């Protein structure tokens, strides 16, 4: 327990030090028409997720070195993107290199090349989707806390990864939440935070899926997945550029147009993902066919509820507002 309290104290100090640096070098997020905030806010506070893993890496005797190297590359390029705005080509090259290191750490290079290519595309896609979802106060903290807690619960039974990695990560999430889960956030995660936390969680999920041979655990990200996929499809239908910044996710409509409290919206996104994760863990006790039926029904139900709610919000608060 003392070790974790020490980690908590160190991470708080590191976050406060980062705030001094960000303030000095003007690393800020200025509101614009696409923003969900109205005040100038420090950007990149999510770098604390990287620091949490850094502390684990040192205290564990440098465990998972290739993963940590990939995470470091991902964090560096994302931080530079936060302050300089890099080209998509540079970011994608580094993302693929980082994923390559993650895959190497997970020891899955024995698979056929097309499986590896598919894995690369999925991981890079999920990382970018996770980044897209970082839009209102508290949502990255709440959702990441829920997913990390689910992974810890499974890990206590299956032991697919060093539990300390997950504990250090969840402590860093709590530190970030202290400064971000507020009506007037002190800091936002920035690309460096949302990309780093996605990379870390995907590494843990990958280790779990490899250990169990069961893809059902990807449903630990089902709420984000449904929102991202349906939002992309809707924007394509409207002829919008899906690579441009926007605020048309369901949580953004709820917080911005419908004016629901942002913190409650963020909390419920994380809360419902946690409940779904508990159901996923429960259904793993049944056979493979039951798990497929459950997965299809779950995604169908989530999609239907999502589309009904989004249509209601858009018709009442977006279209009528225009």
State the angle between helix axes of 222-237 and 262-283 in degrees (0 to 180), rounded to the nearest 10.
Answer: 120
Mean pLDDT of 158-176: 97
Question: Per-residue pLDDT for 310 more than 70?
Answer: yes
10 Å CB burial of residue 12 (0-12, 13-18, 19+) is middle
Domain ranges of the chain: 2-319
Which percentage of the chain shows pLDDT scores above 90? 62
Predicted pLDDT of residue 39 = 64
Confidence band for 193, pLDDT divided at 50, 70 and 90: very high
Contacts of 255 (CB under 8 A, 6+ apart): 36, 136, 261, 262, 265
Question: Per-residue pLDDT for 198 more than 90?
Answer: yes
- Distance, in Å, from the CA atom of 272 to the CA atom of 56, rounded to the nearest integer, reads 29
pLDDT digits (tens, 9 = 90+) for 108-164: 877 777 777 778 888 888 888 888 777 789 999 999 999 999 999 999 999 999 999
**How many Cβ atoms from other residues are within 10 Å of residue 297's Cβ?**
10
- Distance, in Å, from the CA atom of 247 to the CA atom of 36, rounded to the nearest integer, reads 7
pLDDT digits (tens, 9 = 90+) for 257-294: 888 999 999 999 999 999 999 999 999 999 999 999 99
- Give the N- to C-terminal CA distance of the chain in Å, as an integer: 54
């Amino acid at each position: 327990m003392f070790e974790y309290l020490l980690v908590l104290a160190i991470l708080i100090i590191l976050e406060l030090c980062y705030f001094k640096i960000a303030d000095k070098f003007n690393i800020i997020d200025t509101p614009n028409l696409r923003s969900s905030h109205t005040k100038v806010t420090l950007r990149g506070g999510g770098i604390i997720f990287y620091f949490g893993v850094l502390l684990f890496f040192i205290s564990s005797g440098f465990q998972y070195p290739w993963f940590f190297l990939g995470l470091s590359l991902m964090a560096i390029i994302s931080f530079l993107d936060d302050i300089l705005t890099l080209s998509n080509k540079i970011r994608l090259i580094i993302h693929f290199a980082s994923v390559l290191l993650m895959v190497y750490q997970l020891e899955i290079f024995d698979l056929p090349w097309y499986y590896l290519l598919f894995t690369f595309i999925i991981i890079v896609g999920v990382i970018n989707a996770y980044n897209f979802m970082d839009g209102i106060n508290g949502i990255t903290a709440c959702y990441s806390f829920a997913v990390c807690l689910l992974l810890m619960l499974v890990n206590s039974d299956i032991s697919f990864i060093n539990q300390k990695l997950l504990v250090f990560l969840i402590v860093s999430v709590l530190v970030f939440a202290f400064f971000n889960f507020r009506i007037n956030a002190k800091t936002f995660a920035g690309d460096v935070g949302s990309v780093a936390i996605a990379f870390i969680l995907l590494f843990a999920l990958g280790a779990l899926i490899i250990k169990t041979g069961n893809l059902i655990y990807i449903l630990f990200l089902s709420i984000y997945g449904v929102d991202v996929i349906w939002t992309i499809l809707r924007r394509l239908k409207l002829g919008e550029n899906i690579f441009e910044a926007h605020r048309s996710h369901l949580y953004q409509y709820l917080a911005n147009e419908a004016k629901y409290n942002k913190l409650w919206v963020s909390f419920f996104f994380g809360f419902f993902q946690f409940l779904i994760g508990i159901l996923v863990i429960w259904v793993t006790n049944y056979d493979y066919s039951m798990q497929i039926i459950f997965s299809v029904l779950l995604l169908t139900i989530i999609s239907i509820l999502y589309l009904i709610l989004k249509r209601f919000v858009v018709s009442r608060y977006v279209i009528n507002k225009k």
